[in-house]
Structure 1
């Protein structure tokens, strides 16, 4: 499944905010895009950067979710994994819970005033009280844990393959499985997940894209190319791959970041090719 080199335009708005300061930017810039499948049928989405906010550059972001003005973040790495409550505008960590050294933190979601956090290879996850950010329970599942999201009825969970499992949020039993596909091609390495306007948005591990997925059929609805964001990041050897999607449903705002990225970007879809 290799690939055409396409072009995508990242439109910078007249104003965006970085560390609380407004910076003027009114030009259109172009970058080479992520190489998409040769026979891709869904459109390729163009993004607009609305705001830029500070983000802990030491955070190996594995999961990101928005709730009532704050971001909740799961970070990975053995001996360094954590769950955090973060102020969006300042990047300040309001509260942090560190995982035991044998756990590698992964995706998170919020359901019924609880935070659910996956771990990578332990077949175990943790449940936290949302208000107190306090661990209250533990749950188990089969296989690896990568990403998790909810439509407030079910959980959707990825394991790094092309399959997303739909789970009952109470029993945490698998209801059905969704095979993610672009035409006849399976889309593998499905990673961090977010439910946005009836769609599952997913990072693809090691790629600078988000894939928009139908939760009913697994069909790819469009590809969102974010490779242009790297030109807005500082030249630093520690910066890792794109990972982390959060959605503010009330204000219709989408946030994205990456592992060891110093910024969180608020983006909008501008148009499609």
Structure 2
């Protein structure tokens, strides 16, 4: 039996290409010309090099072009993932069962908006868009849009550190924003051993640090938001088994787990989601 979500998804796909052509296939955003595919850690740099230990594996919707992921408590469904799924004509905000990958609730974006990162504050869900310059403040229970605000530039990833929003735009800059008004309050440049780090994508704020996927790579970096310095680089290559990778896109989606030091990782069109721990390589 098809669920209401499946019916909504089929209807979205029916209008997606006619509404906006093939723009959504270009990916997350326009990469900086200075960007390299992988960051290299100099031998004498004071940067931790970490690998991934898989603790558990879960099902994930392979049709989700995952842009943002966060574990949180929902008053009706209990422990859930809030997830943002992208692509023109297919973008939505959704609430997902962590154990099964089932979509419990979702709200579509207009067909001409490409959803990017998503995060929860103490009272709201903020979801950003790629090139449309709009952010939606949503009710965390229903996912209904409460307010829509505008911002300059592209939107890639976003997280909440308990006091402020931290947002990426694919460059080497992180932008800080007020969690109520979304107004910009400051910026910091991200560097590794003094060199700028580009392609900063999906973000997770935890323990006073910002963990970030680097777009088009299997790397995750840990950033000190006070200085912008990268203190650790995680190599997550090979996380998705080869038999599952044929129709999958890049690693993208990081959420802090319930147990300290654990994270959930997935990717765009990945059929699996992993509970992991980062360990010394």
Equivalent residue for 1:262, pick from 264, 267, 271: 271
Residue-by-residue CA offset, 1:210-233 (whole Å, 9 max, x unaligned) = 000001000001100100203x25
**What is the TM-score when the length of structure 2 is the normalising length?**
0.81
Q: 1:236 to 1:266 in 2, by over 3 A?
A: closer
Q: In the TM superposition, what is the alpha-carbon distance from 1:202 to its structure 2 partner?
A: 0.2
Equivalent residue for 2:119, pick from 80, 86, 109: 109
Q: 1:58 to 1:233 in 2, by over 3 A?
A: farther
Q: 1:35 to 1:251 in 2, by over 3 A?
A: closer
Give, in whole Å, the separation in 1 of the partners of 2:220 and 2:206: 12
**What is the TM-score when the length of structure 1 is the normalising length?**
0.83
Q: In the TM superposition, what is the alpha-carbon distance from 1:96 to its structure 2 partner?
A: 1.1
The equivalent of 2:190 in structure 1 is 180
Aligned Cα root-mean-square deviation (Å): 1.6
The residue correspondences of 1:1-273 to structure 2 (distance < 5 A) are 36-37=39-40, 39=42, 41=45, 42-68=47-73, 69-230=79-240, 232-249=241-258, 252-272=261-281
Give, in whole Å, the separation in 2 of the partners of 1:113 and 1:235: 37
For the 8 Å contact 2:50–2:280, the answer to whether it is kept is yes
Residue-by-residue CA offset, 1:104-126 (whole Å, 9 max, x unaligned) = 00000001221100000010011
Residue-by-residue CA offset, 1:72-109 (whole Å, 9 max, x unaligned) = 11011100101110000011100011111000000000
For the 8 Å contact 1:233–1:261, the answer to whether it is kept is no
Residue-by-residue CA offset, 1:138-182 (whole Å, 9 max, x unaligned) = 111110010000111000000000000011212222221110000
- Which structure shows the bigger proportion of residues in helix conformation? 2
Q: Secondary structure at the match of 1:234?
A: helix
Give, in whole Å, the separation in 1 of the partners of 2:41 and 2:53: 25
Q: Secondary structure at the match of 1:101?
A: coil
Aligned residues: 238
Give, in whole Å, the separation in 2 of the partners of 1:36 and 1:79: 33
Q: In the TM superposition, what is the alpha-carbon distance from 1:249 to its structure 2 partner?
A: 4.8
Q: Secondary structure at the match of 1:71?
A: strand
- Which structure shows the bigger proportion of residues in strand conformation? 1
The equivalent of 2:76 in structure 1 is none
Q: Which runs of 5+ in 1 are unaligned?
A: 1-33
Q: 1:51 to 1:123 in 2, by over 3 A?
A: same
Q: 1:216 to 1:240 in 2, by over 3 A?
A: same
Give, in whole Å, the separation in 2 of the partners of 1:49 and 1:233: 16
